[in-house]
Structure 1
Amino acid sequence: VNSLFQIEKDADNGMKNAVDKGFVQKLEKKVTDQGITFEAKEVMADSMRIAVIYDMYDQNGNQISKSDHFLNAYLMDSKGKNWLREEGPSWGAYGQYFIAEQPLNTIFESAEATPNQLTLKLEQTEIAGKSGKWSLEIPIDMKKAKEATKTVVFQDTAFHSPLGMEVELEKIEFSPSATRVMLETTLAKSAYIEVEREREEVTLEGETIQIKEKYNDPILSGNDISFEITNEKGDVVAAWDKPLLDEGISKEKNVITLSGTVGRSQGDYGMKWWHTFGPIHGEQKLKLQLQKIYEKKRASSKFNLAPTELSKKAATFKDESDSTFTFSSFSLESGIGDKPGMAVLTVEGTLGKGVVEASSWSVKDENGQSYPARLKTNSTRDKDGRVHVKGKLEILRMEKQPKNLSVTYKEYAVEHDVNWEVPFEIK
């Protein structure tokens, strides 16, 4: 093992490739105060992201847990500008150490726009209840990383959906640790629906009141699309799909989840999107194929259940989306510690034609008490493309069995097939 970034269970393929290409540097930086040592061990940096593996331990060598420390981060250029005003690194465990990872692809819109010199400053003034000063500065030469990044720029390359969304392919960048596809979407006014919601507001007299308000909700999104990148052999080297789709029906492949913004507003109806994948190597001809656009629809379904009857006979309902749900059992699970208990309904269903998921579930008991709920399922497709779900509906904070339940969900997603492709070449 040449680098901690090659640890199999924690490193993604982009980190490993950055090691192979020489974009990882071992560090000998540490600072000690109040008997606590903060030590930066390695840094990985290219035009897409910066990541630092670090350790933090007391004078006896005992590691300080993640919950007992949080580092402030600053990303400074040569003129002293801090580029992390809006967003900061993600912090997490990494093998026997910790990692701070900061995406650059959502800060700088291209490799060319990235400064040649950056300094990542990590500091802390309180660790494990002790006040002190722990500060490390890590200079990073970005010039080499910028030179190693290849960019394909597209001109006037857009797909116009009759649903009311234009998808424009702007550029694709290829760095040692990641591949970034940049899209811009523009929605027509017809791609919005008026929705009413309730919120609580406290008056000057301390009284809580419910306020109903209307807003325009987009039914389409540049995040809720499906596309593939294929090579000359037809192999899929990267694929994006609607986030949070069940694994059984998602076509996602080689996606790298980086913290930070993935979408940014561009005026009233436009959005810019960054979709990030593992590195794609070498000079080759590729093709991006847009395959699906997902439309969000509002639901008004209501399923009335008697929990005591479910053990005798399952209850089956068909709703306005032509989806069928069967509820077959009700059970209670006790809470653990501060975690409250919950009720669980067993669910199976066949979704309507083109429907891929139902979301935003909630439950009311016979007294009108509302409970948030989450549907956890495994999804599969049959030969006709219909989606079948099987799993459970968890009703949070319900700790006793009610006489009756009213189960609803607010939204469902419908897929629309698309056939649009753009060939390009990495030179």
Structure 2
Amino acid sequence: VNSLFQIEKDSDSGMKNAVNKGLVQQLEQKVTDQGITVELKELLADSMRIAVIYDVYDESGKKIEDHILNAKLIDQNGKDWFEDDGGDNSGSHGEFFITERFLNEIFESTEATPDQLTLHLEQTEIADKTGKWSFEVPIDMKKAKEATKKVAFKDTVFQSPQGLGIELKNIEFSPSATRVMLDTTFPKSAYLEVERTSILYDRKNPQGAIITEKERDPAFSGENMMYEITNEKGEIVAAWDMKSLDDELDNKENVLFTPRTEEEAEERPEGDVLNWWHTFGPIQGEQKLKLELKKIYEKKLASPKFDLVPTELDKKAATFKDETTGSTFTFSSFAWEPGNGEDLGEAVMTIEGTLGKDIVENHDWSVKDENGKTYPASVSTESTRDKDGRVQIKGEISIPRLKQQPKKLTVSYATYMVEHDVKWEVPIEIK
């Protein structure tokens, strides 16, 4: 063992691979103030991300978990690349702390990454004690950039029958991660006007206020697709799938979820274009791969209305069919928890359902009481597929912020997600 990144429980395969490629250096920097010590132990500098293993402890050696390190990443011109996205780092905790920042959410390519950077870490208050714990760590990015390979594509475009265009731009392979960069294009007609009920928390409404407003949602998204990357043996080395899918439904493989996956839309005559960055664990070595697009997901509008008498659900479950989608839902086991003081009441019901053909999710649930007042509904379910491939859901639907137990409820959802099977293959060769 020559690095803590190889043994820390919060290290991933990319961090361990970066060690093998020589992208980790010992730091051994320590600052003590007010009896509290912050000690930097190791730095990982990859073209995709920077990570630091460090420790924070008091005079007795007890770890201090409640802390945040303010971070800046400065180039040779004095620009702080963390300035636009906060810069506060709280670490995950194994034997020591690991804090990391994905550079692929900042730099548009490996070539765009500066050769020299300086990581500033500083805090002026830890564990309610005021002091100064400050570090400067110079980072040479040249070795990391040289260890990153890039495969570029030209005019590699897929046009789905539903109107979604996908263009694969390039894939970067670094020791610690793999980044797939693609563009999506869809016409302005592929937007939905969704009426959504939610709870707004702000200074005027610290307890929350229920609002209903219309929002413009895209029917498609660069996140809402499923593809696999396989090697010459047919083994899946990476796979992307829609984030919100339950574990029993999704096909994710080797995904590293980073804070940024999309860029703002760019308007073109053919439609709105968005740039997407999907990040996976490392794929290394000279080899031939294949990217195969298998599914795209489309959001559609819904307008079912299921009328319930809550107090009757314990005697007999109520089953409804949404004739538009072919989905069937059963509501049962109504429970009422009255409010206490400023805390309002909440109703909870069991919900089970069989979704219509090719439907994988329902979103934007809401209810109306007997007085016509609308409330947001929170639905928490687990999903499985039956032998016919249809999605089965089972869980709870909860309705918060009720002043009194409702006598009647009208349950509805505003949108649902449909999966479309597609087929598109792109060969990839890492040289």
Taking structure 1 as the reference length, what is the TM-score of the superposition? 0.89
Asked if 1:252 corresponds to 2:252, the answer is yes
AA at the equivalent of 2:300: K
Q: What is residue 26 of structure 2 aligned with on the other side?
A: 26
Partner Cα distance (2:92, 2:296) in 1: 36
Partner Cα distance (2:210, 2:382) in 1: 37
Distance change in 2, residues 1:364/1:195 (3 Å): closer
Q: What is residue 56 of structure 2 aligned with on the other side?
A: 56
AA at the equivalent of 2:249: I
AA at the equivalent of 1:424: I
Partner Cα distance (1:326, 1:210) in 2: 26
1:176: how far off? 0.8
- Equivalent residues in 2 for 1:57-136, closer than 5 Å: 57-66=57-66, 69-87=67-85, 88=87, 90-136=89-135
Contact 1:49 1:105 in 2 (8 A): yes
Partner Cα distance (1:63, 1:45) in 2: 25
Partner Cα distance (1:201, 1:328) in 2: 31
Q: What is residue 47 of structure 1 aligned with on the other side?
A: 47
Partner Cα distance (2:409, 2:91) in 1: 40
Contact 1:121 1:137 in 2 (8 A): yes
AA at the equivalent of 2:311: T
Q: Secondary structure at the match of 1:5?
A: helix
AA at the equivalent of 2:262: G
1:366: how far off? 3.3
AA at the equivalent of 1:16: K
Q: What is residue 187 of structure 1 aligned with on the other side?
A: 186
Q: What is residue 228 of structure 2 aligned with on the other side?
A: 228
Contact 2:197 2:375 in 1 (8 A): no
Contact 1:164 1:190 in 2 (8 A): no
Partner Cα distance (1:74, 1:351) in 2: 48
AA at the equivalent of 1:103: F
Larger mean CA deviation between 285-294 and 390-399 belongs to 390-399
Q: What is residue 419 of structure 1 aligned with on the other side?
A: 423
Partner Cα distance (2:7, 2:336) in 1: 41
Contact 1:343 1:399 in 2 (8 A): no
Contact 2:196 2:414 in 1 (8 A): no
Distance change in 2, residues 1:123/1:380 (3 Å): same
Partner Cα distance (1:378, 1:139) in 2: 47
Structure 2 residue aligned with 1:279, among 279, 282, 286?
Answer: 282
Asked if 1:303 corresponds to 2:301, the answer is no
Partner Cα distance (2:210, 2:406) in 1: 26
Partner Cα distance (1:272, 1:43) in 2: 30
What do residues 51-107 of structure 1 show as CA deviations (whole Å, max 9, x unaligned)?
1122222333333233xx322211011222111121136523221333321111121
1:281: how far off? 1.8
Distance change in 2, residues 1:213/1:348 (3 Å): closer
What do residues 284-320 of structure 1 show as CA deviations (whole Å, max 9, x unaligned)?
1110011111111122122222222222211111112
AA at the equivalent of 1:55: D
Q: Secondary structure at the match of 2:384?
A: strand
Partner Cα distance (1:92, 1:403) in 2: 48
Q: What is residue 205 of structure 2 aligned with on the other side?
A: none
Partner Cα distance (1:219, 1:240) in 2: 19
Q: What is residue 395 of structure 1 aligned with on the other side?
A: 399
What do residues 82-137 of structure 1 show as CA deviations (whole Å, max 9, x unaligned)?
11121136523221333321111121111111111111111112223332221111
Partner Cα distance (1:380, 1:342) in 2: 28
What do residues 336-365 of structure 1 show as CA deviations (whole Å, max 9, x unaligned)?
9x9987543222111111111011222343
Q: What is residue 159 of structure 2 aligned with on the other side?
A: 160
Using the aligned pairs only, state the percent identity: 63
Partner Cα distance (2:11, 2:210) in 1: 48
Partner Cα distance (2:146, 2:388) in 1: 48
Q: Secondary structure at the match of 1:105?
A: helix
1:234: how far off? 1.4
Structure 1 residue aligned with 2:333, among 329, 333, 348?
Answer: 329
Distance change in 2, residues 1:398/1:234 (3 Å): farther
Partner Cα distance (1:341, 1:32) in 2: 50
Q: What is residue 173 of structure 1 aligned with on the other side?
A: 172
Contact 2:345 2:404 in 1 (8 A): no
1:420: how far off? 0.6
1:34: how far off? 2.2
Contact 2:197 2:374 in 1 (8 A): no
1:222: how far off? 0.8
- Equivalent residues in 2 for 1:361-400, closer than 5 Å: 361-368=365-372, 370-397=374-401
Contact 2:8 2:95 in 1 (8 A): no
Larger mean CA deviation between 129-138 and 84-93 belongs to 84-93
Q: Secondary structure at the match of 1:51?
A: strand
Distance change in 2, residues 1:213/1:372 (3 Å): closer
Partner Cα distance (2:314, 2:83) in 1: 55
Distance change in 2, residues 1:247/1:60 (3 Å): same
1:181: how far off? 0.4
Larger mean CA deviation between 210-219 and 390-399 belongs to 210-219
Contact 1:169 1:182 in 2 (8 A): yes
Asked if 1:355 corresponds to 2:359, the answer is yes
Q: What is residue 316 of structure 2 aligned with on the other side?
A: 313
Please tell me the root mean square deviation across aligned C-alpha atoms, in Å: 3.0
What do residues 251-296 of structure 1 show as CA deviations (whole Å, max 9, x unaligned)?
11110112x3210014231111110111112111110011111111
Q: What is residue 206 of structure 1 aligned with on the other side?
A: none
Contact 1:53 1:94 in 2 (8 A): no
Larger mean CA deviation between 365-374 and 36-45 belongs to 365-374
What do residues 389-411 of structure 1 show as CA deviations (whole Å, max 9, x unaligned)?
12222334559743332322221
Distance change in 2, residues 1:179/1:340 (3 Å): farther
Distance change in 2, residues 1:277/1:132 (3 Å): same
What do residues 192-243 of structure 1 show as CA deviations (whole Å, max 9, x unaligned)?
23445689899xxxxxx99987654311111111111011121111100111
Larger mean CA deviation between 361-370 and 172-181 belongs to 361-370
